[in-house]
């Protein structure tokens, strides 16, 4: 995943490598799922769009806020997806007869047909996502993932779009994000901590390698780096061995702050895994690692 030679390393923050942090593993596993989705399903519909459609089908009469909650999406993402699907004539808005202040969402016949056609490709994505696990361990992993994601088991057997592994990963990520915000508010985000953690272990690397190691897409990495440069936590300078290349390192203030924040990050991970006992936590992380590593 690296794009250059490792120019040195240091001790991981809090004495825990990033590859052992559950929130990071979830984000990397979701990154793997997104890549598989693009390969098997394509750019349209996206996995979040599919989740919105599935939520509307599963629970008719929901408004936009309720659909977003069921699909494990934030408010702005839900708003954008609903607008896109409405323009595509896959969903319609109708005034709630019992509450004139509320619009309910309904899928169209075209959307229902598309969902049926997509079902086998979506299942293929989930099968490929779980390929790194032995067949006998897959149900165990899904059960543990549901509990980390705070999702009740599906009713009945068979394919359930809102209980597929990719959706459960996104839901678990959402839980992690909420717990992180509860602990840190605007002081720090999970991706920012991941970036600090990477640079603590691997100083003097490029922005591209930072994004790769921290499981960040290109635009997210660029925005995050700029924010942390402005905060005085990341130093960006020319590579002495290649003047065309800029490398990133932590400032001394950032290293001190990150070490101070590491125990609170560890506490977030503990709260994330609260539904599992000690043995189940070890089992869950052991199964999550090969899925998260599949992108390498």
Contact, 81 vs 55, CB < 8 A? no
How many structural domains comprise the chain? 1
Alpha-carbon distance 19 to 132, whole Å?
A: 17
Evaluate whether residue 8 is within a structural domain: yes
48: left (phi over 0), alpha (psi -120 to 50) or beta: alpha
Residue indicated by tokens 């390969």 = 39
* Residue 185, pLDDT score: 94
* Rounded-to-integer distance, Cα 182 and Cα 196, Å: 20
CATH, residue 7: 1.10.10.10
User: Would residue 103 count as lying in a domain?
Assistant: no
The phi and psi torsions of 156 (rounded to 5 degrees) equal 80, 175
CB 179 within 8 A of CB 272: yes
- Tens of pLDDT along the chain (296 residues) come to 334 434 344 567 777 888 889 999 999 999 999 999 999 999 889 999 999 998 998 888 889 999 999 898 999 999 999 999 999 999 998 887 776 677 889 999 999 898 889 999 999 999 999 999 998 999 999 999 999 999 988 776 666 788 899 999 999 999 999 999 999 998 999 999 999 999 999 999 999 999 999 999 999 999 999 999 999 999 999 888 876 789 999 999 999 999 899 999 999 999 999 999 999 999 999 999 999 998 66
Question: Which stretches does DSSP call E strand in the chain?
Answer: 91-96, 99-107, 234-239, 242-250
Burial (Cβ within 10 Å: 0-12, 13-18, ≥19) of residue 5? exposed
E strands, 60-206, in order: 91-96, 99-107
Q: Is residue 91 part of a domain?
A: no
Condensed to tens digits (0 to 9), the pLDDT of residues 25-76 reads 999 999 999 999 999 999 889 999 999 998 998 888 889 999 999 898 999 9
Whether residue 61 is contained in a domain is answered as no
- Alpha-carbon distance of 187 to 221, in angstroms, equals 18
In tens, the pLDDT along 137-163 reads 999 999 999 999 999 887 766 667 888
Query: Of 44, 38, 90, which Cα lies nearest the Cα of 67?
Result: 90
User: In which domain, by residue range, is 186 found?
Assistant: 1-38+127-296
> How far apart (Å, rounded) are the C-alpha atoms in residues 233 and 225?
9
Asked if residue 104 belongs to a domain, the reply is no
Domain presence at residue 170: yes
- Enter the pTM of the model: 0.87
């Amino acid at each position: 995943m690296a794009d250059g030679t490792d120019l040195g390393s240091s001790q991981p923050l809090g004495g825990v490598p990033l590859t052992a942090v559950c929130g990071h593993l979830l984000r990397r596993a979701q990154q793997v799922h997104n890549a598989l989705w693009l390969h098997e399903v394509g750019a349209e519909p996206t996995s979040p769009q599919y989740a919105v459609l599935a939520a509307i089908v599963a629970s008719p009469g929901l408004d936009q806020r309720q659909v977003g909650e069921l699909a494990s999406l934030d408010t702005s993402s839900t708003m954008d997806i609903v607008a896109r699907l409405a323009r595509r004539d896959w969903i319609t808005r109708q005034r709630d007869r019992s509450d004139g202040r509320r619009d309910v969402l309904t899928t169209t016949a075209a959307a229902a047909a598309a969902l049926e056609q997509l079902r086998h490709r979506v299942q293929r994505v989930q099968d490929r996502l779980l390929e790194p696990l032995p067949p006998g361990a897959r149900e165990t992993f899904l059960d543990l993932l549901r509990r980390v994601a705070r999702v009740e088991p599906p009713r009945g057997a068979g394919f359930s779009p809102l209980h597929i592994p990719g959706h459960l990963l996104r839901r678990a990520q959402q839980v992690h994000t909420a717990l992180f915000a509860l602990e840190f508010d605007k002081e720090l985000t999970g991706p920012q901590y991941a970036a600090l953690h990477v640079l603590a272990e691997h100083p003097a690397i490029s922005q591209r390698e930072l994004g790769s190691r921290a499981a960040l897409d290109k635009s997210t990495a660029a925005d995050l780096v700029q924010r942390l440069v402005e905060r005085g936590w990341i130093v960006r300078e020319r590579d002495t061995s290649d003047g065309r290349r800029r490398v990133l390192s932590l400032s001394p203030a950032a290293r001190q702050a990150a070490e101070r924040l590491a125990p609170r990050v560890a506490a977030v991970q503990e709260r994330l895994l609260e539904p599992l006992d000690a043995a189940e936590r070890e089992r869950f992380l052991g199964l999550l690692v090969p899925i998260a590593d599949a992108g390498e």
